[in-house]
Amino acid sequence: MLNLTEEALHLQCRALNKTEAITLAAEALEAAGYVKPGFLAGMLARERSVSTYIGAGIAFPHCAKENLDLVIKTGFQVFQFPDGVSWGAGKVVFVMIAVAATENEHISVLANIADLLGDEVKTTLLANAKTKHDFIEQFEKV
């Protein structure tokens, strides 16, 4: 189970496109001490090879395997985009969970997120949450 804290949650975010959204994510991961400078390039490389859109209005950007050396420690940051961000191919993201993970830890984080956020109704509720408390409460509902 992921432990989402208010410090790791960013509400009312805006981005013109997925590159801008991923840039926000990389900056937040670096500011939180999870990654070294240059992690953004690894995240963008990963996105170019395979989209990190996982369905139901959710994206899960993380770095390419070649950039794992830029991860200091495993962690994540969550972003709410109430107006959505185009992720290409008609996909729109309302909740983005950016992950920095050593080795294959991102797989267990992704599994937790998939369990938590498996439906569009929940994504809609998260996208419309007005406070961090409300978002976290909805995020943690089973």
What is the residue extent of each domain of the chain? Answer: 7-139
Reply yes or no on whether the pLDDT at 109 is more than 80: no
Torsion of CA 79, 80, 83, 84, to 10 degrees: 50
pLDDT in tens, 127-137: 999 999 999 99
Rounded to an integer, the average pLDDT of 59-64 is 91
% of the chain at pLDDT higher than 70: 92
Whether 72 shows a pLDDT value over 80: the answer reads: yes
Between 27-36, 101-110, 123-132, the lowest mean confidence (pLDDT) is in 101-110
Distance CA 23, CA 18 (A): 8
38: tokens are: 């240059």
Where do we find the tokens 């797989």?
A: 107
pLDDT digits (tens, 9 = 90+) for 37-48: 999 999 999 999
Going by pLDDT thresholds of 50, 70 and 90, the confidence category of residue 101 is confident
CA–CA distance, 56 with 122 (Å, rounded to integer): 9
User: Which pLDDT score, from 0 to 100, does residue 118 have?
Assistant: 65
Which residues are designated catalytic? 62
**Residue environment code for 21-37, b if the CB has 16+ CB neighbours within 10 A, otherwise e:** bbebbbebbbebebbee
Domain 7-139, CATH number (from 3.40.930.10, 3.40.50.12140, 3.90.180.10, 3.40.50.720): 3.40.930.10
Angle at 77 between CA 76 and CA 81, to 5 degrees: 145
The pLDDT mean for the chain works out to 90
SS3 4: coil
